[in-house]
């Protein structure tokens, strides 16, 4: 239910203001919203439209359907307020049509807003399309900008990893400023990114610097070694 209400807030907070402006410009036109979600319809149904899993319901179907249900509830609420909305739903896991093919379709040229429950590849594609067409793209779930820069069209709804690191750093500053803090991680792309985030935050936090000590674990690391630090 938390995801459903989150998605209601997405539409209420972002669609309504833009919709009002659109209605001011043209009272007769509908506002077109493109919703991208991992629905896995081609995996759930065969070519004849028969459900593949009998009485079972695979967990991988939950995320997309919960997101879609939240969008439906939000759209119903907005339409009761008089909003002239036309919602186009696209399955990012479709075996018949890729996201890029959807973006290239003629009908997509009428879209006024993109909302997506996305993974990194779709994030980059939708953000690029939104920037080219100068329309908003609401990234509803992915807490990362994927190194996308100078894209005024993209809105990241969830706090990014960098924002979380800033919050952790501030908490440690307030409560453990005089203590040595060990940051222990494996060697990896994500781990190195987090280390860089903390290093960047530290550069801008003078004079109240933390005593951070970064420790990179090797493959032979034994948890008993922690007691030696």
Measured distance CA(7)–CA(74) in Å, rounded:
7
Torsion angles phi and psi, residue 57, rounded to 5: -135, 100
Torsion angles phi and psi, residue 181, rounded to 5: -115, 120
pTM: 0.74
**Same domain as 141, residue 167:** no
Residue with the bigger pLDDT between 39 and 219: it is 39
Decide which of 97, 127, 156 is a domain's last residue: 156
- 217's CB contacts (< 8 A; 6+ apart) are 184, 185, 186, 187
Both tokens assigned to 149: 């820069």
Torsion angles phi and psi, residue 190, rounded to 5: -65, -40
Decide which of 156, 178, 206 is a domain's last residue: 156
Give the chain's domain count.
Answer: 2
DSSP 108: G
Host H or E run for residue 90: strand 85-91
**Same domain as 207, residue 139:** no
User: DSSP string of 135-170?
Assistant: --EEE-S----TT--S-TTEEE-SPPHHHHHHHHHH
Both tokens assigned to 214: 């970064």
**Same domain as 46, residue 111:** yes
pLDDT at 24: 46
Measured distance CA(100)–CA(88) in Å, rounded:
15
The predicted-structure confidence for 14-64, as pLDDT tens digits, reads as follows 555 555 455 545 544 688 899 999 998 887 777 777 777 777 778 888 888
**Same domain as 151, residue 179:** no
> What CATH number does the domain containing 224 carry?
3.40.50.2300
The predicted-structure confidence for 110-161, as pLDDT tens digits, reads as follows 999 999 999 989 999 999 999 999 999 999 888 888 888 899 999 888 888 8
Contact 210, 202 (CB under 8 A): yes
**Same domain as 40, residue 12:** yes
Decide which of 96, 128, 156 is a domain's last residue: 156
Contact 183, 166 (CB under 8 A): no
pLDDT at 20: 47
Q: Whole domain around residue 183: which residue ranges?
A: 161-228
CA 224 distance to own-chain centroid: 38
């Amino acid at each position: 239910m938390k995801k459903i209400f989150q998605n209601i807030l997405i539409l209420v907070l972002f669609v309504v203001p833009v919709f009002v402006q659109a209605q001011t410009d043209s009272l007769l036109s509908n506002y077109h919203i493109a919703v991208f979600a991992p629905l896995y319809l081609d995996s759930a149904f065969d070519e004849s439209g028969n459900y593949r899993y009998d009485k079972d319901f695979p967990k991988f179907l939950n995320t997309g359907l919960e997101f879609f249900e939240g969008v439906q509830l939000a759209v119903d609420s907005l339409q009761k307020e008089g909003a002239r909305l036309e919602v186009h739903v696209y399955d990012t896991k479709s075996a018949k049509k890729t996201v890029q093919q959807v973006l290239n379709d003629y009908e997509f040229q009428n879209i006024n807003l993109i909302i997506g429950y996305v993974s990194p590849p779709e994030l980059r594609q939708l953000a690029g399309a939104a920037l080219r067409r100068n329309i908003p793209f609401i990234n509803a779930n992915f807490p990362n900008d994927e190194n996308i820069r100078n894209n005024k069209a993209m809105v990241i709804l969830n706090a990014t990893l960098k924002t979380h690191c800033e919050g952790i750093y501030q908490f440690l500053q307030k409560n453990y400023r005089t203590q040595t803090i060990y940051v222990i991680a494996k060697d990896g792309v994500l781990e190195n990114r987090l280390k860089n985030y903390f290093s960047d935050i530290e550069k801008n936090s003078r004079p109240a610097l933390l005593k951070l000590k970064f420790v990179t674990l090797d493959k032979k690391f034994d948890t008993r070694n922690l007691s030696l630090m």
